[in-house]
Amino acid sequence: MLKKIYKEIKKYDTIVIARHIGVDPDAMASQLALKESILLTFPKKHVLAVGSGGAKFSYLGVLDKLEDIDFSKAMLIIVDTPDQKRVDCPSIDLFSYKIKIDHHPFVEKFCDLEFIQETKSSACQLILELLYKTKLKRNQSIIEKLFIGLVSDTNRFLFNSDRTVFSLISKLLGEYPLDLPSLYQQLYMRPLNEVHLQGYIEQNLKITEHGVGYIILTSDVISKFSADVGSAGNMVNNFNYIDEVLVWLLISEDRKNEVIKINIRSRGPVINTVAEKYHGGGHKFASGARVTTLEEAEFLVHDLDRVCKEYIKEMESKVK
């Protein structure tokens, strides 16, 4: 499959690389690293990495505008995105050929060629494998981006259950002298106001009967801490390993866009099947959803509480 992807890349002079809406470091690093590698290997090709919201992760690089291209002669590569509605790129049906490279559970087929490896840690890991198993070239800057994306999506290997990641990282660290402290600094530095917001969440987290930790962050609260919806939501990764909490979610009101964004994590119960009922999806233990009313968000909390109850019962029956 990787060789077939390489063959298609070789064929097209114009290639656009897109990823999901609500950009995160794994999605952006994988698209920018792939762009850089294609250009390093084939300097004459026209390659664009597109999508909105990239300014937040400007340490990874700059995204391109989807300028006038002849779609009928161009190829689209979509990374880190399981379904068409979440692709952050217009006119995707106009492209001559489409490839999907993803590590999410399968949702739908919408590309000509789909390389999906659900067990892999990140989209960046899949791009690394593409680079190591084909003639696509790599350099220090490409490897740094892929390392950052992989570290981010696994939350410093905390969510990672795929042991092959470690041999891959060991191989690339042997090949490239990455300055790890400086890369971690780029990824994890944050302003004091965000730390204050995190403190607010810690103080005000509500816990349901069966271990769902949740908080509603209204637009007013988010702006009181001078934060934005995206950075508020990302804090969901900081609430693992609390005795009383099995599943936790941040419910963030985005008044400007009239939507309520929900970031959900779990340390046992499967949550993506619940998220799917609320315009969402994602991985078994890391999902997201979008609703329009607080009432819907409360239904979601209730559903997750039920899933936790069933999980606790199942665990107890295993112990007996």
Q: Which is nearer to ligand AMP, 12 or 278 (CB)?
A: 278
Q: What are the residues facing 101 on neighbouring strands?
A: 79, 115
Decide whether 86 or 98 has the Cβ nearer to ligand AMP: 86
Report in angstroms how near the CB of residue 234 gets to ligand AMP at its nearest.
Answer: 7
Question: Residue 18 belongs to what H/E stretch?
Answer: strand 14-18
Smallest distance, ligand AMP to C-beta of residue 50, A:
17
Where do contacts with ligand AMP occur on this chain (CB under 6 A)?
20, 22, 24, 86, 104, 236, 263, 279-283, 286-290
To ligand AMP, the closest distance from the beta carbon of 301 in angstroms equals 16
Block residue for tokens 């041999």: 167
The closest alpha carbon to 308, from 263, 276, 265, belongs to: 265
Between residues 24 and 305, which has the closer beta carbon with respect to ligand AMP? 24
Least distance in Å: CB of 53 to ligand AMP?
A: 12
Nearer to ligand AMP, 7 or 284 (CB): 284
Q: Quote the least distance from Cβ 20 to ligand AMP, whole Å.
A: 5
Q: Are 130 and 101 in contact (CB under 8 A)?
A: yes
* 195 C-beta neighbours (distance < 10 Å), count: 12
Nearer to ligand AMP, 138 or 265 (CB): 265
**Identity (one letter) of the amino acid at 16?**
V
Q: How big is the CA angle at 116 (ends 114 and 121), to the nearest 5 degrees?
A: 150
Cβ atoms of residues 210 and 272 within 8 Å: no
